[in-house]
A and B are shown apart, each in its own frame.
Chain A
Amino acid sequence: MNCDKAHELFSELHEESLAEGLRFKVSGHLQDCPSCAHEFQVFQRNYGLFSTFSPVPVPDDLDELIARRLDRIDYERKRATPARSGGWLRVTTLGAAAVAVIAVAMFYKPNPGGVGAGMGGVSIAKPSDLRVEKVNEVIRLRYSAEKDTRIDVLEGGSDHSTLPPVDAKQLRVDNVVAGSHYDVPVDVTGPIPMPLWLRLSTTGEIVGVFFPQPAVRVARDFEGDTVHALQAIANGYGVIVEAHVPQPGKMRQHSLQGEDPVAAAKRSMKGTPYLDIKLHNGVLRVR
């Protein structure tokens, strides 16, 4: 037994997994070789060092980072699947109007196996029990949890290619106990409140909530994405819009003067599966 061979067997000697014959030879070498004996002593000490490692704290936004990457994949998959129906939203507008508050909720649940009418490879999820309520001009976003739910709340963002926008900022993470209500604890009283995004762990749904931006006038002709379009409807008609759609899309909108919000939304959603449109207590729900 030479020194190199002995070193090769240090791990197995320490783990007591050497066959008896080899163990005898290595042990004999260590007795005769003080250098190797010292090496083995240090080796054994180092072997146990790792157990002293403290766990490193996991970044708060790690799950958000992962979720966004997975959302991106879902989005790319859906985009690769051609839609079977024609246009997206074709909304006309509106002159600028004073708007008390605007809320747009978008519910999105990837399901590659499902097929929804007019949207290849996409199914429409059952909307979660998140309600945009308007009581005495106060807006409340209330979620009633059937199961323990983790809710991630993000703010802002301008890249709507995936939802929530990849550049949205994480505000908070809350856990809602089954059977309880959750009121989104976010101040939206600023002059140009940022959109909020809520991700529900139980269903994977993503809910976008857009508040009034009275300082922003609505253009008569507009070209942009779904989020902008629905917000423009709400802006133009002074209603809350809560829309359930599976994915963002591009759209154009033209002058809609003279129509009511229901008619405007129905015309906008023509050619999509989302024709269940009702206006109730200042909230326009599109499903």
Chain B
Amino acid sequence: MENRLQTDLALIERAQRGDRDAVNQLVTKYQARAYQFAYRLTGNPDDASDLVAEAFVRVYTALPRFRRDSQFSTWLFRIVTNCFLDAKKKTDRKPTDQLEDAWVDVDAKTTIVEQESPVEASERGEREEILQRGIEKLPEYQRAMIVMFHIENLSYEDIAAALDLPIGTVKSRLNRARLALREILEPYEELFIGA
């Protein structure tokens, strides 16, 4: 962990001096993680790609002002979240009204894990799809917190730093998000029993 942070610090210092190669290395290192986060926020590969690209544009332009008092990854999550919130304000896209829509492309998106039968893979894909659509029905801020905590495994402290909120606020909002998600998923409860 320490080595990784030192490497990041060295790259960031170089990037702040205008070394584009260092910027490219930061992109290479973090783009996949940023994409996972963005995909869970948007639920759409194209939107996720755009979101990540826009986030790195902001990173690139804001790098000279990055104070290095937080981890680069935390800062990146903050920027991706802000890009996501800004994009939502602009587009105000209508969310999926019915979770039933989620079944449409389940098979196409399902990847079969080793030692998993096609039926199991299909069921898992279905569960993931329902869960993803459930996440998308959450208010944007709650969605970002849920993804950061449960999928990106950020700590409450990291989320608080990323979103510039007190830890207590993060905890209470996350709890509300989990309760909301429980309600959203209620009609599909049987699908998740034993999962």
- The contact of A203 among B21, B28, B181, by CB within 8 Å, is B21
What are 22 A-B pairs at a CB distance below 8 A?
Answer: A10-B179, A11-B174, A39-B182, A47-B150, A49-B131, A49-B192, A53-B128, A53-B131, A53-B151, A57-B111, A59-B49, A62-B52, A65-B53, A69-B53, A69-B54, A70-B57, A73-B60, A110-B18, A150-B28, A201-B24, A201-B28, A204-B24
Neighbour of B31 across the interface among A49, A58, A112, A114, CB < 8 A: A58
A59 and B57 contact, Cβ closer than 8 Å, known pairs A43-B178, A66-B31, A67-B27: no
- Partner pick for A47 among B53, B127, B178, CB 8 A cutoff: B178
- Chain B 170-187 residues near chain A, CB threshold 8 A: 171-172, 174-175, 178-179, 181-182, 185-186
For residue B56, CB closer than 8 A to chain A, the reply is: yes
Q: Which residue of A lies closest to B194 (CB)?
A: A45
* Inter-chain contact B175/A66, CB cutoff 8 Å: no
- In the assembly, what is the distance between CA of A66 and CA of B49, in Å? 9
Nearest opposing residue in chain B for A56, CB measure: B39
Complex partner residue of A45 from B31, B52, B192, CB under 8 angstroms:
B192
Q: What residue of chain B has the Cβ atom nearest to residue A68's Cβ?
A: B53
| Contact residues of A between 54 and 79, Cβ < 8 Å to B | 54-59, 61-63, 65-67, 69-70, 73-74
Known pairs A46-B192, A201-B24. 5 more at Cβ < 8 A? Answer: A49-B195, A50-B151, A59-B35, A70-B20, A70-B23
Q: Would you call A50 and B52 a contact (CB within 8 A)?
A: no
A interface, CB within 8 angstroms of B? 7-12, 39, 42-43, 45-47, 49-59, 61-63, 65-67, 69-70, 73-74, 109-114, 150, 201-204
Known A-B contacts A69-B56, A69-B57, A73-B60; the reply to A46 vs B18 at CB < 8 A is no
Using Cβ atoms and an 8 Å threshold, which residues of chain A touch B186?
A: 42
Determine the residue in chain B with the shortest Cβ distance to A10: B175
Chain B positions 136 through 168: 1 when the CB is less than 8 Å from some CB of chain A, otherwise 0: 000000000010001100000000000000000
Q: For residue A201, which residue of chain B has the nearest CB?
A: B24
Which residues does chain B contribute within 8 Å of A63, judged by CB atoms? Answer: 27-28, 31
In Å, the complex CA distance between A65 and B46 comes to: 11
Docked complex Cα distance between A12 and B146 (Å)? 15
For the complex, what is the distance from the CA of A204 to the CA of B19, rounded to whole Å?
9
Q: How many A-B residue pairs have CB under 8 A?
A: 116
B35 in contact with A54 (CB, 8 Å) = no
Question: How would you classify the secondary structure of chain A's contact residues: helix, strand, loop or mixed?
Answer: helix
A54 and B20: CB pair below 8 A? no
Interface positions, chain B 10-35, Cβ under 8 Å from A, are 17-21, 23-24, 27-28, 31-32, 35
Kindly list the 7 A-B residue pairs having the minimum CB-CB distance in the complex, ordered from nearest. Answer: A50-B150, A11-B175, A204-B20, A113-B18, A112-B18, A110-B20, A66-B56
Shortest CB-to-CB span from B157 to chain A, Å, is 13
Q: Which residues of A contact B35 (CB under 8 A)?
A: 56, 58-59, 62
Supposing A43-B182, A50-B131, A53-B131 touch, asked if A67 and B24 sit within 8 A by C-beta, the answer is yes
- The residue in chain B whose Cβ has the minimal distance to the Cβ of A73 is B60
Residue from A51, A55, A62 having most chain B Cβ neighbours under 10 A = A62
Q: Is B118 an interface position by the 8 A CB rule?
A: no
Mask for B79-107, Cβ within 8 A of A = 1, else 0?
A: 00000000000000000000000000000
CB distance from A54 to the nearest CB of B (A): 6
* Cβ distance B138 to chain A, nearest Cβ, rounded Å: 13
Contact A52 B195 (CB under 8 A): yes
